[in-house]
A and B are shown apart, each in its own frame.
Chain A
Amino acid sequence: MFDEKTLTESREAEARWRAAFDRLGARMESNGCPSETQSGLPIKNAYFPHDIEHLEFNQIGTPGSYPFTRGNLAAQYQFMSWANQPVIGYGLPEHTRERMDYLAAQGMVGYFGRPFYNLVYDLVSHEGLDPDHQGARGRIGQCGMAVYSVRDMERLFSGLDLRKINVVHITYYQVIPALAQYIAYAERLGIQPGELRGNSMNWYHQSAYVGMTAFPPDQALKLAVELISFCTKHMPRWNTTNFFCYGIEEAGGTAVEEIGLMLAFGKELVRACVAAGLKPDDFLPRFGFQIAQANDFFEEVAKIRAMRRIWATTMHETFGASDPRSLQVRIHTHTSGAVLTAQQPLVNLIRTTLHAFGAALAGTQAMEVSSYDEALAIPTAEAATLALRVQQVIQEETNVQAVSDPLAGSYYVEALTDQIAKAALAVVEKVEAQGGYVAAQHKGWIRREVERSAARWRGMVNSGERRIVGQNCYVREEGPEPEIFEISPDVEQIAIERIRELRATRDSARFERAMRDFEVVAKSFAQREVSELGDDNLMLAAIEAARADATTGEMMSVLKSALTWGPPH
């Protein structure tokens, strides 16, 4: 990108700078600033043109053009700001609805002004249980909403026009039952699946690095393909799969591992979808990514730019995808929860503001900003409002949306983007050498790598090498206990009564028939190879079960027994 004369001058400039730096260094003690990123990549103390001389201009490129390092769109935020996507969900469906309406009234808005709801299911649903199960005690409506059936969906969405809203369903492995119920609910309103907009997470891949119980990895991969296959044919506006990059960094993985492992999973999933008869350009445009934005400011920005580049080049070069939408990494930023502290909790507002600002500079599409009390409990309404205000201040007051990819051309940011891209591709190679993501998961390799990074980080915090304000420096006596959000104590009883009423009043003949079919289909699904998928029988049977008012727990119990269920690898 630079001519010889510039490069010569650049090297001479660095030599002069280095001499001045060393003169100071000889007289002064370092202030302990690490000379590497959080991921352990070496960084220099100043960058020069020759630090990016190995880069081709088109590796950086132009906003909206391949390889999309600089963002997906030619106009990044100039016509459409990023979507506000705070995670919402607690208590009964109507409690969650109250928070949805409240935040919408506070200005929470999606793409082109459309309402956007990012809804999380509760712990009971995540485990694939119903609220009357013994193991549900204490967990109903905790960390998510108590929604287990089509009737609960009615309570949640009543009065909203499903054609006009986007709904993200944050589920774990109950993703197929939850989508089936949403489809069945829409049908009751006369709305076809093809008219629905939103996301399923399809997060089976997270069992490689987080969580306690799951389907076996090979069965899980087939379940992911099943949902993609169905939606590709019947729900063209539905986003089928969310790459849970965020979970890797939250579990302790580095920025490099976060994007490297998810690209490795991307390759596995694309191969599986192709084996099931799908064409990359038909399903890739509906993949999305949830990416963490944590403390190492520039590394986290560069990580996003690197991910866009290596995803686009891999999908194009390895799988022959050519539709630009197949090559773009559509990002939902989730500011890191793991780096927030229970000590001096208001300080978290400062952290999340920096995270959100970084994500804005990196060019994200949607954002959840963690609430400052996240390390204490479910956010209060006030904390959730402040988290939304963080986004709104950046959107309305800073003018950072005026320019696409404003950090492009920074010698440091470009050099770091390239460093991360290469390091992440090395992670991909390690996974591929083991036979791919599922094989690496079977071996426990992915979890071991992530755990090792988590231990390394904790070691650095313990030794003071990485500082955390309020935790290993600037510690003070904690003040009075902050206000903590609590779900209403009668949630549990009401949820149980509702599920009993549902069982007593649904059409039992229709229910029995649908569940029998679902069971037969699930058993046959368990025996099939990925290449034998594509008839969407499991999804269709799940939808029929949902129409017959089957609950999440009932459907999951069929899947667990057919596919087996247990501790993750």
Chain B
Amino acid sequence: MERRIRVLLAKPTQDCHDRGVRYLMRMLRDNGFEVIFTNFLVAEEILSSALQEDVDVIGISSSSGGHMPVFEDLLAGMRKQGLDDVLLVGGGIIPPRDIRALKEWGVAEVFRPGSSAEDLIEFILKNVRGAGVDAVTADKSEMSS
């Protein structure tokens, strides 16, 4: 049986602008991904969810600023825990100059306002670990609901 791509979507607890990330959760599920949605106070919380759930992708939504330390901590933690092959993406209100820095640090992509759910889905399918291998797929026929 094929394993569906697992995506952990997370948002810092204090950031109440959750409309976008909730929409993405719905769209990813509708497109055959398995989605875990959570919030976090510190990066370790995401890392432990990521390990427990064996996710392929971590998506961080941030619309209130303060994203740089979050990504910094996350990337350091991912390296330490051997999660280097997990795809880390971000989205929300993140200024272009921060995006340049984040990509240098190792964030795979940052989606700005105006990006679509399809952009995210396409990016994941192309870049997730084992992309192109049959065993990893977002199979719509398996959609449970």
- A residues sitting closer than 8 Å to B (CB atoms) are 123-124, 126-127, 134-135, 137-139, 142-143, 172, 206, 210-213, 247, 250-252, 338, 341-343, 375-378, 451, 454-455, 458, 462, 471, 481, 484, 567
Contact = CB atoms under 8 A, between A and B. Distances in A.
Given A210-B18, A251-B18, A471-B114, 18 more contacts: A123-B14, A123-B15, A123-B66, A126-B16, A127-B13, A135-B13, A138-B65, A142-B64, A210-B19, A211-B16, A212-B16, A212-B18, A343-B114, A377-B93, A377-B95, A451-B23, A454-B19, A567-B38
A137 B11 CA distance: 15
Given A212-B16, A251-B19, A376 B67 contact: no
Given A212-B13, A481-B96, A135 B42 contact: yes
Given A343-B113, A455-B26, A481-B96, A138 B66 contact: yes
Contacts of B14: 123-124, 126-127, 139, 212
A12 to B, nearest CB: 47
B42 A134 contact: yes
Interface string B95-117: 11100000000000000111010
Contact of A455 (B23, B66, B93, B113): B23
Interface of B: 11-16, 18-19, 22-23, 26, 38-39, 41-42, 64-70, 73, 93, 95-97, 112-114, 116
A292 to B, nearest CB: 13
29 contacts: A126-B14, A127-B14, A135-B42, A137-B73, A138-B65, A138-B70, A139-B65, A142-B65, A142-B66, A172-B16, A210-B19, A211-B18, A212-B13, A212-B14, A212-B18, A213-B39, A250-B19, A341-B114, A342-B93, A342-B113, A343-B113, A375-B93, A375-B113, A378-B65, A454-B19, A455-B23, A455-B26, A462-B116, A481-B95
Contacts of B38: 567
Among A212, A213, A481: residue with most chain B CB under 10 A: A212
Contacts of B116: 462
A137 B44 CA distance: 13
A342 B115 CA distance: 11
Task: Determine chain A's interface SS by DSSP, over half rule.
Answer: loop
Nearest to A452: B26
Contacts of A484: 95
A251 B19 CA distance: 5
B69 to A, nearest CB: 3
